[in-house]
Chain A
Amino acid sequence: MDYARFVRLRRPIWQSFERRLAISRRMPRGLAYDDLQELALEYRQVLHDHALAAARYPGTGAARQLAALALAGTHRLTRGAERVGARDLVTHAFPRAFRRQLPALALAAGLFALAAFCGLVVAALQPALGTMLLGPKAVEELAQGRLWTQALTTTVPPVVSSSGIATNNLSVALVAWSGGVLGGIVPLYIILLNGAMLGALASVTLHYSMAGALLEFIAAHGPLEITLTLVASACGLSLGRALVAAGDRPRGLALREAARDALVVLVCSLPWFVVLALVETLVSPSPSLPVWLKLLLGCALLLLYLALALRPPLPLRQEMRADGLAPLRVEAAD
């Protein structure tokens, strides 16, 4: 077929496709279901014409125009991944993704416990380490029977404390998650550092007989805060594992799958940091609340989070049309 005949024969399809595509951009609901089906059919025809033109008439106006049309159609009609609503995210995607993170979470918890034990022992053997970690002023306060955390309520207004704590914890979680792309080194560092610091602080407070006060302070927010930090770090470790040991799958594919799961877990875990910041500012330093109440709140928050994370995943809600047909979608090749 000569070039001019090819253009003459196929041009009506291209024109119709471009017209429908423009309507779908301007007002997505302006196309009826039949129009959408027609659009999908024309898209395939444009794609095939594009392939023919690129092979037989490279560099011509028709080839360039079809390339642009094919690209515009592909962008409009294909989507990288399915959209998940907020309810499906929490009730379906989150429990499924969380279960897949459990091995990494167990590893993170084990490393954290080991680092905490090491921190405890080292700080007990080297008391100077506690001074270095806390600073001389905090150690001086400990010697006088006061926890350095009292400053949260006495010197800084609660609204500033809570926003500072929330943004700091969120940043740590985000860095632990995203640092997984460097082979898991960053989340590993965060797990070990936090574990060692907690162990060392426990040792220092034990030395000054203030361990009870420290436990009282962290009872309300500590269990969930540590868990969330470990969960974010576990997601980072999963990313690192996909990068370093992809198995028999292509590394890019393994990374993308790990990232999707890790993102779901992160998105469903981050809002808890805001709740925890309020607890840490308003409840944890409060001397008027009994320890058992703080401990109860801490356990309740942790159990609530774990209940959401470990519940059996509910089936996805299908978005069905009134006539029972599934929504039209041109699936992208994967």
Chain B
Amino acid sequence: MREAPGAGDLGEDGATVLGLDNIGLRLPIAGAGSRTLAAFVDYLCIGLGMLLWILLVLVVFSWTSPALRVALLICGWFLLEWGYFAGFEIASGGHTLGKRALRLHVVSAEGGEAGSGALLIRNLVRLFDVLVGVPLMAFDPLARRLGDRLAGTLVIHQDRPWQPVVLGRTPPGWGPREVAAAEALLARAGELADPGAGQDLARRLLARVERDAPGFVAGLDFRDPLRALRLALEVPPAAREI
């Protein structure tokens, strides 16, 4: 994996890696905290799985010889111990139960789908990552443990909700900060704890729109600034879905 200039500069959006055509791709890297929590959930699942396996062997296989039941217990124990993580990740394309619960996902170093070999490799060294994995993740900008370095994988947050595009037109001279502020306000107006603050911000943005593009606000009723801002800048709902 090649890291783009500034890679490892973990902002709220994660880190940048170079993907196809050397284009920087922002990956929402999962940190040591969420990954440790996912691992905790997974080890609970393993413990539960072992209990269930013991019950299953004792109840369902009660008609078999005691020796066979012991052998089944030994084999099941071994498979759960060594195969749970790799098995789940390979079968579900990068998830375990813990990762699914915390919406984490294993990807290749370029953000692509991790192959079965890589998923197997990263989990074979888990035994040693239990000892050194957390400090390694904490100090690595891409939060990689030993297994990730060996397999060339990363763990990212999955399907982070993103802000829908709502602006259909922008006043001349508006830069990304003004656009982002207007979009964020219109997208989140219904969720604001203090509606008054939203109205106040809408009023100030309307003033900017009126100054930069008076035609956008011509004939609009300013008594409801949020609605007026929406009408001035927003695209029709039918064209909004991407």
Contacts and interface: CB of A to CB of B under 8 A. Distances in A.
A30 B162 CA distance: 28
Contact of B114 (A3, A14, A18, A80): A80
- Of residues A3, A56, A77, A171, which shows the largest number of chain B Cβ atoms within 10 Å of its Cβ? A3
Nearest to A266: B124
Contacts of B187: 61
A2 B74 contact: no
Contacts of B239: 11
A47 B116 contact: no
Contacts of B134: none
Contact of B167 (A61, A68, A74, A75): A61
Contact of A65 (B156, B165, B170): B165
A78 B113 contact: yes
- B interface residue count range (under 10 / 10 to 19 / 20 to 34 / 35 or more): 35 or more
A332 B124 contact: no
A112 B219 CA distance: 90
B117 A78 contact: no
A81 B125 contact: no
Interface stretch (A31-39, A202-210, A255-263): A255-263
A57 B170 CA distance: 12
Interface stretch (B43-51, B175-183, B198-206): B175-183
Given A14-B242, A56-B176, A159-B68, A50 B113 contact: no
Interface in A147-176: 157, 159-160, 162-164, 166-167, 170-171, 174-175
B92 interface: no
- Of residues B23, B150, B152, B169, which shows the largest number of chain A Cβ atoms within 10 Å of its Cβ? B150
Contact of A332 (B19, B24, B68, B146): B19
B111 A71 contact: yes
Contacts of B160: 68
A7 B65 CA distance: 70
A126 interface: no
A166 B127 CA distance: 19
A62 B116 contact: no
Contact of B25 (A71, A182, A260): A71
Contacts of A259: 121, 150-151
B104 to A, nearest CB: 13
Given A59-B176, A78-B110, A181-B128, A64 B162 contact: yes
A332 B74 CA distance: 42
Interface in B1-32: 1-2, 13, 18-27
B153 interface: yes
Contacts of A80: 108-110, 112-115, 118, 152-153
Contacts of B109: 80
B70 interface: yes
A68 B158 CA distance: 10
Contacts of A157: 65, 67, 70
Contacts of B167: 3-4, 7, 61
B1 A252 contact: yes
A67 interface: yes
B121 A170 contact: no
Interface string B177-198: 1011001000100000000000
Contact of A18 (B25, B121, B168, B242): B242
B62 interface: no
Interface of A: 2-4, 7-8, 11, 14-15, 18, 43-44, 47-48, 50-51, 54, 56-65, 67-71, 74-84, 157, 159-160, 162-164, 166-167, 170-171, 174-175, 177-179, 181-182, 186, 239, 252, 255-256, 259-260, 263-264, 266-267, 330-334
8 contacts: A47-B23, A48-B23, A59-B176, A70-B19, A80-B152, A157-B70, A160-B71, A259-B121
Interface of B: 1-2, 13, 18-27, 65, 67-68, 70-71, 74-75, 77-78, 82, 107-118, 120-121, 124-125, 127-128, 146, 149-153, 156, 159-160, 162-170, 172, 174, 176-177, 179-180, 183, 187, 239, 241-242
Chain A to chain B: the 4 pairs with minimum beta-carbon distance, closest first: A78-B112, A80-B108, A157-B67, A61-B165
